[in-house]
């Protein structure tokens, strides 16, 4: 029974590793302009994030690997997609840079906190941020894959990414207040 539980406890890590493997495949398809393939790979990679989180929380499968590589895989996947969408002309560089700056800031902050034995757990605002980012990216990839060029849709995508950028930074601000509260509680 112990081996079965040990195997099952590695499912979230396996999903994270699978997501990491899918990122170069997504980039390859996007660069080669195989739009439907890039959309499919991105959706699968996004779903691995959802399922590894559900499984890890439900069965309390927490690992050092997962704590480090799950958020890192998410950030690399989103960063890759944002850069590609920017290269395709669907979003402005400054939006991509603002979102990536937040992700870099939070990664450096998490690493600093870990050294101080403070672990920043994901909260609902971080989940909303991730869902908003992934959904907007998927919609943008769907548009590029299946819909005719439309300035109306491209403006909707641009507005959606402006809102995603705001949500992204609001979640960082909320994390900062959460951290402050934890530090002063000690």
Q: 130 with 140: CB under 8 angstroms?
A: no
Output the pLDDT for position 3: 58
Residue 133 CB-density burial (10 A; 0-12 exposed, 13-18 middle, 19+ buried):
buried
Provide the b/e sequence for 138-166 (b: ≥16 CB within 10 Å): ebbbebbeeeeeeeebeeebeebbeebbe
**Number of separate domains in the chain:** 1
CATH code for position 9: 1.20.120.1760
Q: For residue range 79-95, list pLDDT tens digits in order.
A: 999 999 999 999 999 99
Note the pTM of the prediction, 2 decimals. 0.90
The tens digit of pLDDT for each residue in 110-145 reads 888 888 887 777 789 988 999 999 999 999 999 999
Please answer whether residues 12 and 62 qualify as being in contact, where contact means their C-beta atoms are separated by less than 8 angstroms: no
- The residue segments making up the domain with residue 93 are 2-185
- Residues lower than pLDDT 50 in the chain: 1
């Amino acid at each position: 029974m112990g081996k079965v539980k040990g195997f099952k406890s590695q499912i979230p890590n396996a999903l994270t590793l699978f997501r990491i493997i899918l990122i170069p495949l997504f980039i390859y398809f996007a660069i080669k302009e195989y739009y439907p393939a890039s959309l499919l790979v991105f959706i699968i990679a996004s779903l691995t994030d959802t399922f590894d989180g559900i499984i890890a929380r439900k069965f309390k499968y927490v690992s050092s690997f997962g704590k480090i590589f799950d958020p890192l895989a998410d950030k690399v996947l989103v960063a890759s997609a944002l850069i590609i969408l920017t290269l395709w002309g669907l979003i402005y560089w400054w939006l991509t840079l603002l979102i990536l700056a937040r992700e870099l800031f939070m990664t450096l902050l998490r690493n600093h906190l870990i050294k101080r034995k403070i672990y920043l757990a994901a909260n609902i605002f971080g989940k909303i941020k991730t869902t908003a980012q992934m959904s907007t990216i998927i919609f943008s990839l769907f548009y590029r894959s299946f819909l005719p060029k439309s300035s109306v849709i491209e403006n909707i995508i641009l507005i959606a990414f402006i809102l995603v950028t705001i949500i992204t930074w609001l979640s960082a601000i909320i994390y900062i207040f959460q951290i402050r509260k934890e530090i002063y509680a000690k």
